[in-house]
Structure 1
Amino acid sequence: MTNPTRLAILVALLLLLPATAYGAGLAQERWMGGAEPSTQGAATAADPAPSGGATFERPVRPARPARQPVAPAPAPIEPAMVPGPTLLGPGAEGEEVRDLQARLAQIGWFSAGVTGFYGDVTVASVRGFQAKREVPVTGEVDRRTLDRLLAMTREPSTDELHPERVVAAAPSAALDPRCLVGTALCVDKTTATLSFVVDGQVRTTLDARFGGASTPTREGLFTVQRMSRDHVSSLYDTSMPFAMFFSGGQAVHYSPDFAAVGYAGASHGCVNIRDHAAIAAIYDQVSIGDRVVVHRS
């Protein structure tokens, strides 16, 4: 090795010695717990040294974000009750309206007379019933309203449906004693009337017409033997609706002729009635075996 080479190596070593000494001192400072320039700023803190008073630094955990309040879940919304299609409403007329009014009367929601007309009084009654039963309040009858009403009531009687046909009961003394038992058609030739009697109480009294001199209406106590709603006489070829036969071919029935000419004519022995609606109502309440009493008071 030449001298120039040796000289170059020596110079290089001299230049390296200060850097080596600095690195050794830095390592010793860290080993002994000396402070290290912080690169975390305010994010680090000094912990007490375990011994000898030395300290070391460690990162501080970042603060957790504040928990946001959770809004309560909204209560479920119940579907609103919607009324169904109208079955009966203002302006309607007929037997269905009578049935509605009679049923409302049974449970105290209709105090007016049953008329068969759906007017303001019926609307108010239906609205009251609906409000009480948690049914959509419309004043009109839909299927839900009708089902509730049917479940709470019974089939109205003829008297409930047609109170205008009910007459005040006649004193029992005015009736033939044979008319006071059960259901009876009490026919009085003297007054030319037929009284529909149930358990001694007169339900209805109607005008009646009887047979002429050559075909008189037989008198006495009889029973209803057969009934024919749309009967036509095979002997006279005449209409005899609501026929209730009590003695052979003699019957109580509606007579179009009696309705047309009144007492100017006579029957062939039957008891003629000229009130079509009333005799139809009686027919629906009479049964085979009920009494027929034809007498003179």
Structure 2
Amino acid sequence: MIRSSRAGSGHAHRGGRGAGAASAVAVLALVAVTAGCKAEPAGSASAPPSKPRASSSPTDDAKPGTDPTQSAKPSASAKPSTPPKPTPTSTPTPSADPQATVLMASGAQGKRVRELQARLRQIGHFDRSPTGYYGSVTVAAVQSFQGKRGLSRTGRTDSLTWQKLLGMTHAPTAAELNPPTTRPAAKPDKRCMTGRVICISKNSRSLSWMIDGHVVSSMDVRFGSQYTPTREGTFSVYWKSRHHVSTIYHTAMPYAMFFSGGQAVHYSSDFAARGYNGASHGCVNVRDEGKIASLFDQVRNGDKVVIYW
């Protein structure tokens, strides 16, 4: 009995040691679990497994109760934020000049347009006689004047342009408003300054009838072509023929005043009709019949003729 009791006691002791060992293993296992992983909230054993978390740490401004990794992502419906509009600078915008009143523009005609052209001609912006019509030539002349005076190059004559022009010019004379030639008559050659002279400039295409240095009248003229050039130099009128007809070309040469061989100063209906698109056969053509008729009556045989550039 005694042996039997020891045996039982011994078995029990072994059992106790076994239980103690088991308890120790359980404790170690619990320590290992709690040291290596985060503890799940209470009741997680029965709850469905949660979604795997992203490896990045949650942001500092994540709202409580939301997945921090999702709070950083913009929602699909959210519109991208617009950058703030720049605030306007505090520098004030300079105020524009008051709008100038348009006085004359393309298509206008009359005495005021003629005065405008005469004033522009005084200061070198209009290179022909005033016509009283505001066409493309006048537009270009006004633009030229405006550009040199720091004004807007509109080609229209507004109040600012007009006032500036008035301050730089004088009131046109009757001769300036209605000059005798289309282009300004040239400065007379020194050979024209004494006696009775028909003074003819090829450069300005003008004829001036002069007596003792004074211009009595002026008129537009044209000359011969390169194949039949008008001679240059000093000559004298040796024959006048009021109703002359050319024996070579069989064309009318009214109010002819011959000065060198077959060359003469005379009226040309072709010049009156076509202007400078044509040329003579060497004569000096005049296109204003009234002026050449008056000149014919004043000129005498022996009066001087000077043709120069």
**TM (normalized to structure 1)?**
0.42
**TM (normalized to structure 2)?**
0.40
